[in-house]
Amino acid sequence: MALEGTVHREVTTEAQYRFNDASPYASRLTVVPRTGTWMDAPELGRCESTGRTAPRDCLGHCAMTGMDVLRHLLVPSEISGRQALPEHTICCSLSGKRILVDEAELSSVSGKPVASSLLKTCPLTGKRAEPEQFGRCDFTGAEVLNTGLAVSEVSGKHYRLDQQLRSAVSGKAGHKEEFLFCHETRQPMTRQEAVACEVTGRFVRPGVLERCAVTGQTVLPSELERCVVAETRVLKKLLVTSSVSGARLQQLLAVRSIAGNYCMPMEVKTCMWSGRRSHPDDVRVCTLTGITFHVEFAALGDRPYLQPLADLLHGLRRSADAADRWEDIASKASTALRGSRCRVETAHVSPDKRHLAICSEVRTMLGFRVHQAGMLYSMEDGAIVGRIAMGKRTPKGWIGAAVLRPALAAPPERRQTSRSCCPHCAARQNHAGSRYPAADRPPHRKTIPAQER
């Protein structure tokens, strides 16, 4: 048996080749040996760098230029693995690795190219540099460029320059957390330089505090106020306000009233009865004698008058103080009352032994009319002080009739209308205290007591 025909074979093989001294490339080829034709061959392309034609699987893509070039011409990045032509790569100065140009930055400090992933950004300036160019702020913990750090002259620690303060006292520089601000001037200063107010505890720079003239404490100027009496600056809490003038003065130098008001020493009024210097609110004017006296010696009632004198006039007190002066007092009272006969009944000495409250019997109209006169007598001056209160003692007590001023004579017509019932009585009263004999005085036709009228 015999066969007749042709043998048809397809052979697939791997062909290796190289370009210059580059590493060999390999491509799969399918050929027909009988005819010498290509059945399957790789698609061809052109290298945009060298201009050579080569199988397309021998070409690679440059990440920097976007060109297709022979693979052996490309250099891979040792950080990202991306490939590019050698002229588009650079060596990282920090790691020594070959990287693409777009993967590197110039250090803002050294000026050398460094992989972007290895650089750090300064939060102070925004500049990027190698990690060794950074330092840590000991106060905030932030990492900034060494050029943005400084050493504190206060503590020796590193701090950020953007948070620097300088003492207005010593000129030392440091971090803001090492400083205080003067409460008065708002200037920075270190804690060691600050001085605390002994009242408020607030800190100020040296030389700002003032010393209280009373307590000796050093305090803020705003805590002191001037005392108008001592003319010194003292703590405000030691001062009170005068209810008379509104002036501010030390409580220790002020005069206090019963109600709790204060006044200055030069604003006080003196109680003539006791000699006490008192607040004007506590001083009353006697409606009987016109003298000023302290309210504690005032009798009850709407119209204030001296209680010790009132007790004598009402017959409630029968003191006999300073009896050796009674004749002199009676003589001066008689002169003050235009010759009326006076006799001291009772006398009461004041607490300061300088005045006498006097109750004197006064007789007029030939001694038929009897009054009780109240007056105040100065033992130092030997004179009657204030007005003389005239009145009459009744079963209900002393009733005031008139108030006379010593050394001032009442007009005759007033005496006529107030003491006489008719012109004849007035004529007799005008001669009662005179040196004329009784026979020369005008006769009295009718006598009617003034109280009965």
Cβ partners under 8 Å of residue 66, min gap 6: none
Residues 45 and 63 occupy one common structural domain = yes
The gap from C-alpha 135 to its chain's centroid, in whole angstroms, comes to 43
Neighbours of 343 (CB within 10 A): 14
- CA dist., res. 289 & res. 275, Å (int): 16
Tens-binned pLDDT, residue by residue, of the chain (453 aa): 666 766 667 778 777 878 877 788 888 878 777 776 767 778 888 988 888 888 888 889 999 999 999 888 899 999 999 999 999 999 999 999 999 999 999 999 999 999 999 999 998 888 999 999 999 999 999 999 999 999 999 999 999 999 999 999 999 999 999 999 999 999 999 999 999 999 999 999 999 999 999 999 999 999 999 999 999 999 999 999 999 999 999 999 999 999 999 999 999 999 999 999 999 999 999 999 999 999 999 988 888 999 999 999 999 999 999 999 999 999 999 999 888 899 999 999 999 999 999 999 999 887 788 899 999 999 999 999 999 999 998 888 898 875 555 543 333 333 333 343 443 343 344 333 333 333 333 344 333 344 433
For the chain, how long is the longest CA-to-CA vector?
A: 220
Distance CA 337, CA 404 (A): 8
- Tell me, yes or no, whether 332 and 393 share the same domain: yes
Which of 118, 148, 173 is a domain's end point? Answer: 118
3-state secondary structure of 116: helix
The Cα 223–Cα 242 span in angstroms is 19
Alpha-helical runs (H) found in 81-155: none
Q: Are residues 179 and 91 in the same domain?
A: no
Terminal-residue alpha carbon distance, the chain: 198
Q: How far is CA 378 from the centre of its chain?
A: 54
Q: Is residue 276 part of a domain?
A: no
d(CA 118, CA 110): 14
Q: Tell me, yes or no, whether 255 lies in a domain.
A: no
Q: How far apart are CA 58 and CA 25, in angstroms?
A: 7
The DSSP bridge partners found for residue 40 are 30
User: Does 380 share its domain with 451?
Assistant: no
* pLDDT score for 152: 95
Write down the pTM of the prediction: 0.58
314 with 353, same domain: the answer is yes
* Domain membership flag for residue 266: no
CA 170 to chain centre: 27
Give SS3 for 197: coil
The rounded Cα 351 to chain-centroid distance in angstroms is 48
Does residue 400 share a domain with residue 311? yes
In one-letter notation, the amino acid at residue 426 is A
Beta partners for residue 399, in sequence order: 392
pLDDT at 7: 67
Q: Per the domain annotation, does 417 fall within a domain? A: yes
Position 395 scores a pLDDT of 87
Contact 348, 338 (CB under 8 A): no
Residues 204 and 140 in one domain: yes
Please tell me the total count of domains within the chain.
4
**178 with 190: CB under 8 angstroms?**
yes
* End position of a domain, from candidates 183, 208, 233: 208
Identify whether residues 311 and 391 lie together within a single domain. Answer: yes
Q: Does one domain contain both 336 and 397?
A: yes
Buried b (16+ CB within 10 A) or exposed e, 93-104: bbeeeebbeebb
Does residue 424 form part of some domain?
yes
Residue that is last in its domain, among 208, 243, 268:
208
φ, ψ dihedrals at 267, nearest 5° = -100, 0
Return the pLDDT at 451.
40
For 304-339, b where at least 16 C-beta lie within 10 A, e where not — what string? bbbbbbbbbbbeebebebbeebbeebbebbbebbee
Does residue 449 sit within a domain? yes
Beta-carbon count within 10 A of 397 CB: 12
The answer to whether residue 322 is domain-embedded is yes
105 and 135 co-located in one domain: no
Q: Is residue 239 part of a domain?
A: no
Q: For residue 46, give its domain range.
A: 31-118
Secondary structure (3-state) at 7: coil
Residues 151 and 84 in one domain: no
Contact of 108 with 116, CB cutoff 8 Å: no
pLDDT at 323: 93
pLDDT at 404: 53
Asked if residue 420 and residue 385 are part of one domain, the reply reads no
